[in-house]
Structure 1
Amino acid sequence: MIEKTLHSDVIYREVQQFRQIWLWIILLPVSLLVAILFSYGMFQQLVLGVPWGDRPMSDIGLAIFGPLILLIVIGLPVLFYTAKLITVVDPEGIHIRYFSFLRRTVPFENLKNYRVYTYNAIFEHAGWGIHWHKNGWAYTVRGNRGVELELASGEILLIGSQQPETLVQAIDTGTKNYKARKAV
């Protein structure tokens, strides 16, 4: 757990968030526009009694699904704003937390190989975020660089990083310390 590791000997810690200006230039106006249009349509149909669109949903359906759709449209920017990828290397291993979705730890004993990796987020992983691919998972937030971990099980993990060389150095330090402790 990352909370536990913050009180131990942290070798490396990186926090990444969705702060790309282009994302917010697209996301905020689109979310706002959809919320306004949908609210207007709900008001038109449910309050004024004028059907909304050529094939309107029933009033009951609109009363049920309308607020859910608005919650999603308004919640999406909030989700992107609060989401963050936290990567921590400590004496136990590599801890990945994609707030608020997952927590994962890769103990050094399960690590077979690792390297700095340059990827194409759009073509290899269909964008940024948490993505499954045929050999494992990718955890990314921005950019096109990270560290690819090959686990003893054969699974491949990609951790996006703004400092992949530093992350690899931290993993080097952690694995050396782990092997030294194991040898004693």
Structure 2
Amino acid sequence: MADQYKEVQRFRRWEILLPLFLLLLFTIYNIYESAMLWDFRTEAHLWKGVLALLILGGVLTYLLSIRLLVKVDTEKIKFQYFPLHRKKQKIYWDEVAHYEVLNLPLSVQLSGWGVHVGERMFCVKPGSGIRLHLKDGQKIFISCKDPEAIAQVLRTREASA
């Protein structure tokens, strides 16, 4: 269907997840070793390990739960950046002054992790997306895997208007 685009993105940056997972395994091994050599000198070490295990496990759980749902049609764009948004956010096209469909080069993707001052960004996978300039002055960037599919939906919308 050419008048709608839908996708789900998940956080799968292995250069971040792999070191965290290895630290988690190392912490589990240290807790196991401390428990096997139980004496009062290692008790503090054991509790520090449990605290590190809880923190690392929480960070990994959070990162693995991140997902961005994007749906673009001729009427509106809906998105949900879970776990930050509990409900889908909607932006109707009459609220948009203009938009840009971006396919950024690798050098831009690698610089600054997609952090831009003065712009709300919902970005799981860097590289491409749609930048909305709203009539109230806000700028919003929403990442997507296939910017050409979004451009096709928007061309269909403009042709029918």
TM-score (norm. length: structure 1): 0.64
Alignment of 1:13 onto 2:6? yes
The 1:127–1:134 alpha-carbon spacing in structure 2 relative to 1, beyond 3 Å, is: closer
Is the counterpart of residue 108 in structure 1 residue 93 in structure 2? yes
Q: Which one-letter code corresponds to 1:27 in the other structure?
A: L
Q: List aligned pairs for 1:29-178, cutoff 5 A.
A: 30-39=19-28, 40=30, 44=34, 47-51=38-42, 59=44, 63=47, 66-90=49-73, 92-102=75-85, 103-119=88-104, 120-123=108-111, 126-127=112-113, 131=115, 133-174=116-157
Structure 1 residues not aligned, in runs of 5+: 1-9, 53-58
Q: Distance in 2 between matches of 1:70 and 1:16?
A: 27
CA drift at 1:146: 1.4
Q: Tell me if structure 2 keeps the 8 A contact 1:135–1:154.
A: no
Residues 38/50 of structure 1: CA separation in 2 closer, same or farther (3 Å cut): farther
Amino acid of the residue matched to residue 6 of structure 2? R
Q: Is the 8 A contact 2:34 2:46 kept in 1?
A: no
* Cα distance, 1:111 vs structure 2: 0.6
Compute the displacement of 1:42 (Å): 8.3
Ranked by relative contact order (alpha carbons within 8 Å, sequence separation 6 or more), the top structure is 2
- Report if the CA contact (8 A) 2:10-2:68 is conserved: yes
SS, match of residue 79 in structure 2: strand
Moved more, 164-173 or 110-119: 164-173
Tell me the distance in 2 between the aligned counterparts of 1:36 and 1:50.
23
**Which has the higher mean CA deviation after the structures are superposed, 138-147 or 151-160?**
138-147
Deviations 1:9-30, CA, capped at 9 Å, x for gaps: x7221222234xxx336523x2
In structure 2, C-alpha distance between the alignment counterparts of 1:68 and 1:121, rounded to whole Å? 34
**Is the alpha carbon distance of 1:107 and 1:167 closer, same or farther for their aligned partners in structure 2, counting shifts above 3 Å?**
same
Question: Cα–Cα, structure 1 residues 93 and 42, in superposed 2: closer, same or farther, change >3 Å?
Answer: same
Report the aligned-residue RMSD: 3.3
Deviation at 1:110, TM superposition (A): 1.1
The residue that corresponds to 1:56 in the other structure is: none
Q: Does 1:24 align with 2:14?
A: yes
Instruction: Figure out how many residues of one structure are paired with residues of the other and give that number.
Output: 152
Q: Confirm or deny: 8 A CA contact 2:101 2:147 kept in the other structure.
A: yes
TM (normalized to structure 2)?
0.71
- CA distance in structure 1 between the partners assigned to 2:83 and 2:147 by the alignment: 23
